[in-house]
């Protein structure tokens, strides 16, 4: 992989994170990225993206809609060819996954 490609994917990764930070869990006033619901974002040289995410619980009321919202909003980035969102509950989400900013926002610090 050339250096140029590496820089592009890193820049793209940052753009994806900015999009993820516009998506909120409807029950918690913190974006899904700061909540720690995004486990991983993979970008390959073909600009295909795979996002591994979880929900606060398997019974989360937005289990059907949140991954679709994530996929649609990330797909809105012109550079991307394809976006796949995979839900996982391994490891299960805990409050420990939240950023300091999210914990502060929710009064957990």
Q: State the distance between the two ends of the chain, measured CA to CA, in whole angstroms.
A: 42
- Is the pLDDT confidence value at 4 over 80? no
Domain boundaries, the chain: 3-93
CATH for 3-93 (3.90.1150.10, 3.30.70.2190, 3.30.300.130, 3.30.930.10): 3.30.300.130
- Is the pLDDT confidence value at 3 over 80? no
**Degrees, nearest 5: CA angle 71-23-107:** 145
pLDDT tens for residues 27-43? 888 999 999 999 999 99
Prediction pTM value = 0.88
Sign, CA dihedral 43-47-50-55, equals positive
pLDDT tens for residues 41-50? 999 888 999 9
Sign, CA dihedral 68-72-74-75, equals positive
pLDDT tens for residues 62-97? 888 999 999 999 999 999 999 999 999 999 999 999
Spatial separation of the C-alpha atoms in residues 80 and 77, rounded to whole Å:
6
């Amino acid at each position: 992989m050339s250096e140029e490609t590496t820089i592009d994917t890193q820049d793209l990764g940052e753009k994806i994170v900015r999009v993820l930070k516009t998506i909120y869990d409807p029950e918690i006033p913190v974006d899904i990225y700061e909540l720690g619901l995004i486990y991983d974002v993979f970008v390959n040289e073909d600009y295909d993206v795979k996002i591994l995410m979880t929900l606060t619980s398997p019974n989360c009321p937005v289990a059907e809609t949140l991954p679709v919202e994530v996929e649609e909003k990330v797909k809105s980035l012109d550079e991307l060819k394809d976006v796949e969102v995979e839900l996982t509950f391994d490891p299960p989400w805990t409050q420990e996954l939240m950023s300091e900013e999210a914990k502060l926002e929710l009064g957990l610090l």
